[in-house]
Amino acid sequence: MTTDVVRAPLRAEVLREQLVDQNRWAALDVVDRTGSTNSDLAEAARAGAADRTVLIAEEQTAGRGRQQRSWTSPRGAGPSTSACCGAHAACPPPAWPGCRC
């Protein structure tokens, strides 16, 4: 896989206009880099983030999925996205390391 992908940076204000201002999502944040959008959003949910909150990262260094699979997403390769879609949807199952749900 190549890591020299060229893509314009995401424009958070445009995404918010299209996805939040038109009542599709409650909140949307774009970050430059994160370990895991899922971990960040789970923490935000525990801290009271609204249902229908979206987090997008330009680069993800410690993505994780089912069966403890991990991955990275280099800058420009594609946005990494997580969404909180319910009272506890953003919280991974308690068996996941580091989860305090």
pTM, 2 dp: 0.74
Q: 11 pLDDT exceeds 70?
A: yes
44-91 confidence digits (pLDDT tens): 988 988 888 999 999 999 987 778 888 888 888 888 999 987 654 445
pLDDT for 54 equals 93
pLDDT for 4 equals 61
Domains along the sequence of the chain with CATH = 12-84 (3.30.930.10)
| Cα distances (angstroms) measured from residue 1 to each of 4, 43, 51, 72, 85 | 9, 31, 35, 12, 32
Considering only CA atoms, which of 53, 9, 5 is closest in space to residue 32?
9
Angle at 52 between CA 28 and CA 24, to 5 degrees: 75
For the chain, how far is it from start to end, CA to CA, in angstroms?
Answer: 35
Judged on CB neighbours under 10 Å (0-12, 13-18, 19+), 68 is exposed
Give dist(CA 22, CA 15) in Å, integer. Answer: 10
